[in-house]
Amino acid sequence: MDKIRIRGGVRLKGEIPISGAKNAALPLMAACLLTDAPLTLTNVPKLADVAFMADLLRLFGAGVEWTPESSPGAGGRYRLCAANLVGTTADYDIVRKMRASFVVLGPLLARAGQAKVSLPGGCAIGARPVNLHLMALEALGAAVELSDGYVIASAPGGLKGARIEFPTVSVGATENALMAATLAEGHSVIANAAREPEIGDLGDCLMAMGARISGLGTSTIVVDGVAALHAAEHAVLPDRIETGTYAMAAAIAGGEIELTGTRADLIGSLITVLEMAGAQVSQTNRGLAVARNGVRPTSVSATTAPFPGFPTDLQAQFMALMATAEGTSHIRETIFENRFMHVPELLRMSADITIEGDTAIVRGVPRLAGAPVMATDLRASSSLVLAGLGAEGETIVNRVYHLDRGFERLEEKLSRVGADIERLPA
């Protein structure tokens, strides 16, 4: 398995193009199942998870054509066309490899009146149940049965518009509910909906396909069902997690970088804490500029929360930054119960971190020390790369396949701004 070697201590300078968002692209791709007409998506990141979703769509009979953009690293365009569905079952072997494949449930059910999708099971960052997805589809009139590890949902007479009131915010359940409601008969209200920008992006695409939706970006989304959706083209929004990760790379390594093709409003909560920590962040014509010159970062505390709060997907990377800050930071994780797996690895790099319940207490040290470390999940992997950028000496990050699931050409993007980083093939 490939490894990544980083020699720390080099300041960063230059620009990094930000790719389309993985977490937007996956549900957007699933939206092609809602119609027999083609859906064209541009600015799609070239990632293992995205290719995996394309394979899944092919199993349902969708035609999938990928055209890479001419400039390297700019992702590509998918033309997806599910003219005839040949299947409505997503096997365990598929869903266990990528939990986000569960988002095909709503569109399949809405279009075909039935779907059978494996329960995703637990994953490294916690139990991650799907009760909210099922609750939403039941509210829309589906009969849902659990059998042999599968969710079997049916609505032979079609889904019916309804009020769905989520007890807690879920990104994936909101996406399934939103897609299903577009073809349900009548009026649906999704209350306590997730407000993540990826939901707004999905809603915009669905509206381009003819869906009638209002309230995107708020916690109450209203959908008036239509009989059918039509062809559309949509550009995937910039990846806010990639944006935030590279912003923190500059804050850890020092220097000045411009992140092009992205927007400040996608990472407002991170910008606030980065500025408190002593970094300078400004909007430019082409994206965002992030700089840290001279002084050591100052410790700042943060608590993860649904958007617009501090994203759980940036928590591990932020901890790498705080590990070298002046002072003590409390980082509280409220979304996932087991999302501190990067801590033992950061300790191997001489960080001083203790965990008390859902809070990591991070006492900054002047400099981390390079070490061999193991990537345990996607975001943890990127935090170890960031830690390596700020560490003294050499860091080897093992098991980097997680990174390839969510970051397009990470080592190339960082080396083009001067980082001493390379991939060591297995």
Angle at alpha carbon of residue 103, lines to 98 and 108, rounded to 5°? 125
Kindly tell me which of 9 and 217 has the beta carbon lying closer to ligand UD1: 217
Taking the C-alpha atoms of residue 74 and residue 88, their distance in angstroms, rounded to an integer, is 32
220 binds ligand UD1 (CB under 6 A): no
- Of residues 184-213, those binding ligand UD1 (CB under 6 A): 198
Kindly tell me which of 127 and 295 has the beta carbon lying closer to ligand UD1: 127
User: Shortest distance, CB of residue 23 to ligand UD1, whole angstroms?
Assistant: 3
Kindly tell me which of 67 and 131 has the beta carbon lying closer to ligand UD1: 131
User: Shortest distance, CB of residue 307 to ligand UD1, whole angstroms?
Assistant: 7
- Among residues 319, 340, 331, 332, the alpha carbon closest in space to that of 386 is found at 319
In the numeric block, the tokens 């986000």 are attached to 100
Selected from 239, 313, 345, 404, the binder of ligand UD1 by CB under 6 A is 313
- Of residues 151-180, those binding ligand UD1 (CB under 6 A): 168, 170-173
| Whether 123 is catalytic | yes
Angle at alpha carbon of residue 276, lines to 362 and 20, rounded to 5°? 90
Kindly tell me which of 291 and 355 has the beta carbon lying closer to ligand UD1: 355
314 binds ligand UD1 (CB under 6 A): no
CA distances from 177 to 6, 96, 230 (A): 43, 21, 19
Residues 6+ apart with CB under 8 A from 49: 22, 26, 98, 100, 405, 406
Number of amino acids touching ligand UD1 (CB under 6 A): 20
Query: To which H or E segment does residue 106 belong?
Result: helix 105-112
Q: Which residue number is nearest to ligand UD1 in terms of Cβ? A: 172
Selected from 4, 18, 26, 39, the binder of ligand UD1 by CB under 6 A is 26
DSSP state of 357: T
Selected from 43, 312, 329, 383, the binder of ligand UD1 by CB under 6 A is 312
Taking the C-alpha atoms of residue 170 and residue 196, their distance in angstroms, rounded to an integer, is 10
Selected from 4, 32, 56, 100, the binder of ligand UD1 by CB under 6 A is 100
Q: Which token pair is 296?
A: 């050591």
Taking the C-alpha atoms of residue 310 and residue 360, their distance in angstroms, rounded to an integer, is 15
Residues 6+ apart with CB under 8 A from 357: none
Q: Within 10 A of 183 (CB to CB), how many other CB atoms are there? A: 23
51 binds ligand UD1 (CB under 6 A): no
User: Shortest distance, CB of residue 151 to ligand UD1, whole angstroms?
Assistant: 11
* CA gyration radius, the chain: 21
Kindly tell me which of 168 and 293 has the beta carbon lying closer to ligand UD1: 168
Kindly tell me which of 103 and 213 has the beta carbon lying closer to ligand UD1: 103
333 contacts 342 by C-beta, under 8 angstroms? no
Selected from 6, 20, 23, 266, the binder of ligand UD1 by CB under 6 A is 23
Phi, psi at 343, each rounded to 5°: -60, -50
Binding pattern for the stretch 109-138 against ligand UD1, x by CB under 6 A and - elsewhere: -----------------x-xxxxxx-----
Residues assigned a catalytic role: 123
Q: Binding residues for ligand UD1, per CB under 6 A?
A: 23, 26, 100, 126, 128-133, 168, 170-173, 198, 312-313, 335-336
